[in-house]
Structure formats: C-alpha cells, structure tokens
Amino acid sequence: MAPTVSRDTLNPKVLQCEYAVRGEIVTIAQRLQDELKAKPGSLPFDEILYCNIGNPQSLGQRPITFFREVLALCDHPAILDKKEIQGLFSADAIQRARQILDQIPGKATGAYSHSQGIKGLRDTIAAGIEARDGFPANPNDIFLTDGASPAVHMMMQLLISSEKDGLLCPIPQYPLYSASIALHGGSLVPYYLDEATGWGLEISELKKQLEDAKSKGITVRALVVINPGNPTGQVLAEENQRAIVEFCKQEGLVLLADEVYQQNVYVPEKKFHSFKKISRSMGYGEEDICLVSFQSVSKGYYGECGKRGGYMEVTGFSPEVREQIYKVASVNLCSNISGQILASLVMNPPKVGDGSYESYSAEKDGILSSLARRAKTLEQAFNSLEGVTCNKAEGAMYLFPCIRLPQKAIKAAEAAKKAPDAFYCQRLLNATGVVVVPGSGFRQVPGTWHFRCTILPQEDKIPAVVSRLTEFHKSFTNEFRD
C-alpha cells in the first residue's frame, strides 16, 4: 500500500514556500562543520564563519547583563528572599524583577498569560513607545508575540482570503514575507527598491505596481515597509516616510511597518522614526490609517533571538476587526513569558540615575559602535573587489553587495542548475567556510546578482572574513573571466 503522506499529497502552499536564510547553503555549511569536527584539517579552512542570519549571540555577542539579571530573578523568585542576592545582582535589577512579578498573576512565569500579553508589561511597552515617539500609545493596542515573525503571520492570516488578495512587498525583501504570503495563499506584489539611490523607495514605483496588480484582478490589501532595511541596510528619510503614509491613506492600504532594527542605525546623518510617529505628526489619527508596527527582542543591541520576544502595535482598526485579531491571538493561548518580560525591558531599559545605567550604557554602546565599525570594514572590502558594488550600511545588520558575474560563470551555474549568485555563494563556502545567502533568496531586479552578508561575526573575526572573501573572489573572477 502506498504511503498516505507523500510530497504530492502535501499542501501545495507549503511546497511553494521558501526561506533562504536557512536554505541549501546553510545545510551544506552544517555538513562541512560536522566534517571539520570529525576530521580536523580535512578542509581548506579551520572554521565555518556564519554570515547568513541575524543571530548575534550564536556568534559570541554577550547578552545585556541587566536584562538577564531581571529574567533570572523573575524565573526563580525564591532567590529574591535570600540574603546573598544583594552581592550577586544589582539593586535595580532586584527592584525591577519584584515590580514585574507583582504584575504577573500568581508571580508565575510558567503560567499562561492574557492572550495579548501581561497587562502590566503592555503598560510598560506603551509608555516606552510614547517616550520614543512623543505621541500617546494604548496598552490595549499591543499584542505580545513570540518574536515579530508570528505577528507577521497573524496579519497575513487576517488580510489574505485568496490569491486575489495581494501585499506590496519591497524587493529585495526578507523571505519571511514571501514565505508567509505563499503559506497563506495570497499574492506578493513586488515593488523594487532603487539600488542606484541607496535602495530608495519611490512612490511612483508603488503606484505603478499597484495599478499593475489591479489590472490582473488582484486587490492589494497592505504595504510592507522594512525600516531599517533587511537585506538592504538603508534607513528611510523622514520625507520619504511621510510620502509612504500619504500613499497608504489615499489608497486605503494597511501599512505593515517592520521596525525590528530600530536600534541599529550607524550613520550620524540618519535617525530612526517610527511610522506611527510620522503618521501622528502629519495629523493622522486612528480613523485615518490602519497601521501595524512590529518590534522584536532578537535584533537591536540585545540580540535575544532564542528568547522569542516581540510585539505588534495595532492601530486604526474597527472594534469588529480588533475582535478577530484578538481571536487569532488567543488560538495560540499566549506568547512565552520570558519574551514578554524582555520586550518590556527593551522598551524600558535602565535610565540615568539607576544603579545599572552606566554598565548598561557601556554594554549597549560597545555593541552598537562595534557593529558600525564592522559594517564600514565589510562595506569597504566589498567595494574594493573587482565587479562588486555595495551601498552604505546605514542600519540593520546586513550588507547586500551587487556582483557582476562573467558570462562563463553564469553558463557554469546554468549547467549546475543553480542561480548564478547561489553558484557563487556555494563555491565561496566550499573554498573558504564563509556562509552568505544568495540574493536570489531575497528576490532582486532580474538580471542582477547579489548576496547578503551579516555584520555579526565578532570584530576579531572580520579580518578573516575579508581576507578569505577577497582571495576567493580574485580566483573565481580569474577562473571565469570572459
């Protein structure tokens, strides 16, 4: 009897869904890592250098001490009554843990919470948003989630009812969007960022793609904006953001603002402004625009990816729609409590005058200034390679260099049944142990080739990334020179 489950009987939406940052290249890298462990010295390199995913602590970034002290105390409140605690934990971490535990029913981090998240923590996050933006935030608009990704999935579930429902997404994009649109059966409506102007977002391009989608019978429901950009690393200018808000208002689109890199801005001439702040400063309120903002504890200077904390702030929806959002959230019961606590700490870190403020500031500034230096070093290295151009890394954790590949390399890739940039990235990995993700996994202007490289390997590893990549690129270019 044939097995009841085969590839042919699976949900076709699952088969369509792809997620490049953990794709084929990473599978090969893990196999090579096992090989190095079993037979040291068997490969032309001594370690794998992972530059494929925004996962800071896996590459040696230390957690923020204050955040971890508070988490530890909340998870094991029995130690709060022990006298030794004063010598082990900072006084303000002890105070904050007591404060948080008082907001948790039964003081139990192992219990389910309200489906939107613990009310006291949502109060703290709303106050943090208000302090950041200068405009009021309502704790009832906050939905705490296991990182930003489940929040994105939740909005896709709500907005997509068939393949006739479309979402405008930036190209290049973070593959979460193409994957979740495919899983929920909708249509991705691409708008291309302009690489020549530092990955600029042109309103004329949005209008053109919107009209094109309409002509195909697709109803565009929402616009996704990633700011700072992933994989492209740009930070939007304020006037550009105002034009985007105006476009969504005129076209009746939900604005889905992915703002998880809001703390990662590396150039003095750019600042992060939330889309909520921009829309409120334009005089638009709840009744004018539907806006969902995503934030995560995985990025920034905290990099707490494994704790799966995040939230979405949902504004501008009718009470009937809000009811449905709450229903979808409650199907998952609640997000994990450690992530909820961390989200509240990220939006309310130690302030001037707090006992931990100086050490917290030193840790935060140390991480962010090091990331800025790493971004600059890699950007310069890419721009020094023959046939490679790389825009400035203004923010986020990535560079997305453009590689002009010789025709010979493109033909060799076709013979190997691979996209040319995937062919390049795989050759790079096999020769050097450096793991980057081909641009084809993020989509790109047809006929152009890129790869995404994180700036996350520890600073002392960056010279090795640069030298290995430079050496490989020279030999690859010479091998395939037309």
Each domain of the chain, given as residue ranges in start order, spans: 7-60+362-480, 112-347
Token pair listed for 115? 């489906």
CB-CB contact of 109 with 133 (8 Å): no
Token pair listed for 80? 């709060």
pLDDT band at 18 (very low <50, low <70, confident <90, very high): low
Token pair listed for 388? 């490679």
CB-CB contact of 360 with 350 (8 Å): yes
CA distances from 128 to 325, 335, 348 (A): 23, 20, 6
Residue 276 pLDDT = 96
CATH value of 7-60+362-480 in 3.20.20.20, 3.30.1330.40, 3.30.70.360, 3.90.1150.10: 3.90.1150.10
Taking the C-alpha atoms of residue 70 and residue 64, their distance in angstroms, rounded to an integer, is 10
89 pLDDT more than 80: yes
Instruction: Count CB neighbours of 262 within 10 A.
Output: 23
In sequence order, what E strands does 203-328 have?
219-226, 254-258, 291-296, 310-315
pLDDT band at 324 (very low <50, low <70, confident <90, very high): confident
Instruction: Count CB neighbours of 415 within 10 A.
Output: 9
Please tell me which residue, 258 or 60, carries the higher pLDDT value. 258
Task: Tell me which residue of 257, 266, 255 sits closest to 398, measured CA to CA.
Answer: 266
Residue 32 pLDDT = 87
Lowest mean pLDDT among 22-36, 163-177, 270-284: 22-36
Token pair listed for 428? 């790079």
Q: Identical fold at 7-60+362-480 and 112-347? A: no
Token pair listed for 286? 């709840």
Q: What is the pLDDT of residues 214-266, one digit of tens each?
A: 999 999 999 999 999 988 999 999 999 999 999 999 999 999 999 999 999 99
How many C-alpha atoms does 221 have within 13 Å on its Cβ side? 19
Residue 21 pLDDT = 55
Give the CA angle between residues 269, 270, 272 to the nearest 5°: 155
Helical (H) or strand (E) element with 452: strand 451-454
Taking the C-alpha atoms of residue 375 and residue 397, their distance in angstroms, rounded to an integer, is 8
Return mean pLDDT, the chain: 88
CATH of domain 112-347: 3.40.640.10
CB-CB contact of 180 with 13 (8 Å): no
CB-CB contact of 283 with 248 (8 Å): no
CB-CB contact of 425 with 25 (8 Å): yes
Task: Write down the H helix ranges in 134-201.
Answer: 148-159, 175-183
Beta bridge partner(s), residue 311: 144, 295
